[in-house]
Amino acid sequence: MVLGALPEIVPGDDLAGMLAAVAMDAGLEPGDVLAVAHKVVSKAEGRIVRLADVDPGDEARALADATGKDPALCEVILGESRKVVRRRRSLVVCETRHGFICANAGVDASNTADGTVVLLPDDPDASARRIQHALSRAAGGRVGVVITDTHGRAFRRGLVNVAVGVAGFEPVLDHRGGRDREGRMLVATDQALGDEIAAAAGMLIGKSSGRPAALVRGLRTAPAPGSLHDLVRREDQDVFRSPIDEHGVVI
């Protein structure tokens, strides 16, 4: 269920308390999972950059020349990136400092004042834990939290909400060693529960509705601290970023 509207969030707002209040109004219960758009989390934490205050370096200016983007924006993107993974015309796909692979390193100019951009939370898991503690106190029991962002996906068309911060539950369910309906052993089945919750919430959370959070109820989750790193595939396990031979075989 989508939660009530929040006012425009500004740096320093007690977002955890505000979310706890609207969640309690909706009947928050232990076992619920709250999904919240990262944009309000980032705004509350002051992760807002005024582009006029940015001094682009040589690398940013070269990227701007190649893509047609604002040099100041390119400087911010590079500052949030470990590296540029792919580039095509104005599209810049980066690996963020968190390990995400996404456009513009998650730097977003939507739903923010002209001339500013919003960055991903500096430590999304820590942000999720702060919200999770407030909600769990209010509910009188464990509540899970997922911080979401909208990402594109390789080989698939369209954007989908994914988890960029997790707290209070195990975000990946390991079904290996179990059996399918025919009795065959499962050997490679990890269920990305955190991403599934984020995607489901994305159908309810509007881009400009002022309702940046939704509650998921009736879903069994395994109690755990939770971490976004459980959902990010390590580069040494990623066949699409590993070197290959002329036959397409990973070296």
The pair phi, psi for residue 70, each rounded to 5°, is: -65, 130
CATH number of 48-119: 3.90.1660.10
Does the pLDDT of residue 188 top 70, yes or no? no
DSSP string, 150-198: EEEETTEEEEEEEEEEEESS-SEEE-TT-B-TTSPBPSS-EEEHHHHHH
CATH number of 1-45+120-251: 3.30.1330.100
Looking at per-residue pLDDT, the higher value among 182 and 226 belongs to: 226
What residue spans define the domains of the chain? 1-45+120-251, 48-119
Residue 173 confidence (pLDDT):
84
Q: For residue 97, with 0-12 CB atoms within 10 Å meaning exposed, 13-18 middle and 19 or more buried, which class applies?
A: middle
Looking at per-residue pLDDT, the higher value among 190 and 71 belongs to: 71
Domains 1-45+120-251 and 48-119 share a fold: no
Q: Which of 124, 114, 110, 104 is CA-nearest to residue 44?
A: 124
Residues 56-67 pLDDT 10s? 999 999 999 999
Residues 105-153 pLDDT 10s? 999 998 899 999 999 999 999 999 999 999 999 999 999 999 999 999 8
Laid out side by side, the sheet with 91-96 consists of: 81-88, 91-96, 101-103
pTM, rounded to two decimals: 0.90
Q: Which of 219, 197, 237 is CA-nearest to residue 35?
A: 197
